[in-house]
Amino acid sequence: MELQFLDSIEILAHRLGTSMTSLFKITAIIVIALILTNLIRRAINLFSYEIAKNSSGRDAATRVNTLSRVFRYIASVTVYLIAFMLILSELKINIAPILGAAGIVGIAIGFGAQSLVKDYVGGLFILIEDQIRQGDTIKVEGYEGTVEEITLRYVRLRDYDGFVHFIPNGQIRIVTNMGRDFSYATFDITLGYEVNLDKAIKLMQEASEKLRKSLTYKTIVLSDIEISGIDRLNESNLVIKARIKTQAMEHSNIKREYLRLMKLAFQKAKIKPPYAQIVIHRSR
């Protein structure tokens, strides 16, 4: 009886020791995972802070913050997943069936959420490649407007009429960004065939000089007018094509002001707008 009792105590002590060892290992895994996650988060925050500090503009800082949030989330999920697998292994739980079931569930979810994954992947590349910034005016998928928000899921766009469009990132194929570096205010100046071309071109250049000297627009206009020459010969008029380089997104304002100055200059020079001409033949 005493031998059996001692054997029972020895077995119990062995199991208790094993359990305590496993408990200690599990606790160590959890603590290390928490410390590692915290260190990675701090490193990502520090790295993103340095990049944002050296970046110019609020939109660049916003993009950096969004990317750092994504990387923090990915890092945390990866560390916790590894820790979870190690804990299961320490508890002597066979993780092979779990991995198999997870793979099947993952495939099922993948088929059902292909568009969602595509949106997130597309959004990640849009942010990394800096294709679009908050405040840019863009044309995308048949819509034109100002970018109000960029997330990993969608781009929120507000058009000229004030309507808001939510465009999933996975559907974005071609983006025309009109808010980068500089813009061009383009003009099609229509003149009658009777107008002296040299005089009209001189008036166009004088209007451009007046625009550049204006207190309101001198910092917005980046160059003198570029006159390409006659672009089209129509039945009753000809078209002179020209453009003025402006700061990004200021082309519309410059175009309106320049056309106002040209209207005044043509009026002063008594250059009338061309009218459609119709030739009537009278039969005798």
Residues 63 and 17 in one domain: yes
How far is the C-alpha of 122 from the C-alpha of 152, rounded, in Å?
7
Residues 214 and 234 in one domain: yes
Alpha helices by DSSP H, listed for the chain, are 2-54, 58-90, 95-112, 114-128, 197-213, 251-268
Residues 62 and 13 in one domain: yes
Q: Tokens standing for 87?
A: 């804990």
Domain that holds residue 147: 132-177
| Backbone torsion region of residue 267, taken as left when φ is above 0, otherwise alpha when ψ lies between -120 and 50, otherwise beta | alpha
Residues 36 and 90 in one domain: yes
In sequence order, the β-bridge partners of residue 154 are: 168
Burial classification of residue 107, based on how many CB atoms lie within 10 Å of its CB (0-12 exposed, 13-18 middle, 19 or more buried): exposed
Rounded (5°) CA angle 209-214-216: 140
Q: Do residues 235 and 257 make contact, with C-beta atoms less than 8 angstroms apart? A: no
How far is the C-alpha of 86 from the C-alpha of 30, rounded, in Å?
10
The domain that contains 246 carries what CATH number? 3.30.70.100
Residues 29 and 103 in one domain: yes
Residue pLDDT tens, the chain, 284 long: 555 544 555 554 455 555 567 777 788 888 888 999 899 888 888 887 777 777 665 656 666 777 777 788 788 888 888 888 888 877 777 766 766 666 666 665 666 667 777 888 888 888 778 788 878 888 998 899 988 888 888 899 999 899 999 999 888 888 888 877 888 999 999 998 888 999 999 999 999 999 999 888 989 999 999 999 999 998 888 999 999 999 988 888 999 999 999 999 999 998 888 877 666 777 66
Residues 163 and 245 in one domain: no
Counted domains in the chain: 3
Residues 166 and 187 in one domain: no
In residues, how long is the chain? 284
Distance set, CA 18 to CA 28, 85, 92, 105, 237 (Å): 15, 19, 12, 34, 97
Residues 76 and 141 in one domain: no
Q: Do residues 161 and 119 make contact, with C-beta atoms less than 8 angstroms apart? A: no
What is the structure's pLDDT at 5?
47
How far is the C-alpha of 165 from the C-alpha of 121, rounded, in Å?
20
The domain that contains 35 carries what CATH number? 1.10.287
Residues 105 and 77 in one domain: yes
Distance set, CA 106 to CA 75, 82, 98, 110, 128 (Å): 19, 17, 12, 6, 26
Residues 172 and 188 in one domain: no
How far is the C-alpha of 220 from the C-alpha of 24, rounded, in Å?
68
How many Cα atoms occupy the beta-carbon half-sphere of 113 within 13 Å? Answer: 12
